Amino acid sequence: MTETETRNHRAGTQQNGVAAAEASTVDDAFDDTYTEKEGPRPPMRLVWRNIIAMSLLHLGALYGITLVPSAHALTLLWSVVCYLISALGVTAGVHRLWSHRSYKASLPLRIFLALGNSMAFENDIYEWSRDHRSHHKYSETNADPHNAKRGFFFSHVGWLLVRKHPDVIEKGQKLDVSDLRADAVVMFQRRHYKLSVVLMCFVVPSVVPLLWGEALAVGYFVPGLLRYAVVLNATWLVNSAAHMWGYRPYDKSIYPRENMLVALGAAGEGFHNYHHTFPFDYSTSEYGWRLNITTAFIDLMCLLGLASDRKKVSKETLLARVQRTGDSSARSG
Ligand SMILES: [Zn+2]
Ligand SMILES: [Zn+2]
């Protein structure tokens, strides 16, 4: 089956609520016809507001580390809970649900994921999803918001500290995001984004520990800033480390790699060679729950009737792809 045939073939069989899928239903498939414009890259314009905010956040997170030994055990547990809610708001929410539409979620689950997404404070769902579709469609070009060809620092955090490359804006505006516009939860979160971030990312994590007599400062710096900085860096490692280090068992011609350390820190998002090869697969990996708490969460939500229509690449397509384009490191089959 040729590449074009693979992308255009959307039929699938249904098994245990998991449908075999062969292609994306959203505008996230790699566009191999796109070529970058010739000529020098336009000069980088620093965004000082973001540089100062990120510096202060990381200083605050470092101070938070010094408070960990004196924190109440329940505060530490609460920090882990906040980490999980915000991580799922990114992985199960804006990534696998809204960017890739790899499964369907009921209204209560979408509201929970949107709240988690505001707790993660990584741009609103609409903008994150649009940027992420550009990342898949134009990977490692000037139209990729965090082009890994520009180095570790740029793809990790640098891209947030400078103005977007004009090609990111130009191509982003042409992407089909009609499904995001039609989702009331996405547009509500976008309209009330600032308030939702203040409440979910800062106020709620900081004040809940007051219930067991924790000092407000510890709540602010540990489940607040330290947890926020850890979630940010775990997400960024998917764009930096998982585009640089690891095997490429599914497609050796692309940058993204299988990176187990990133999978561990980013709730299952480190199987990145698989994910860029099959962006429509709800599990982002062929190995189910292994190092993949997000897949376990989505499966649980399906069991509870809150999610449905998980898309999974078929075994035949997977094996054929491994044979055709993999780097021979695959253990599948
Ligand atoms: Zn990527
Ligand atoms: Zn993705």
Q: Ligand 1 centre and the CA of 207: distance in Å?
A: 35
Q: Over 70: is that where the pLDDT of 333 sits?
A: no
CA distance 272 to 244: 10
Q: What's residue 117's pLDDT?
A: 98
Q: Nearest Cα to 238, choosing from 274, 262, 264, 268?
A: 262
Across 5-14, average pLDDT? 42
- In this prediction the pTM is 0.91
- Take residue 242 and report the two structure tokens written for it: 């998982």
Q: Ligand 2 centre and the CA of 124: distance in Å?
A: 16
Across 95-104, average pLDDT? 97
Q: Ligand 1 centre and the CA of 166: distance in Å?
A: 20
For residue range 39-85, what is the model confidence (pLDDT) as tens digits? 777 888 999 999 999 999 999 999 999 999 999 999 999 999 999 99
- 256 touches 279 (CB < 8 A): no
* Closest-approaching ligand to the CA atom of 91: 2
Q: Ligand 1 centre and the CA of 45: distance in Å?
A: 24
Q: Ligand 2 centre and the CA of 269: distance in Å?
A: 9
Q: How confident is the model at residue 265 (pLDDT cuts 50, 70, 90)?
A: confident
CA distance 6 to 228: 39
* Closest-approaching ligand to the CA atom of 101: 2
Q: What's residue 15's pLDDT?
A: 60
Across 323-331, average pLDDT? 86
Residues with CB under 5 A from ligand 1 (ion): 256
CA distance 200 to 91: 17
Q: What's residue 41's pLDDT?
A: 77
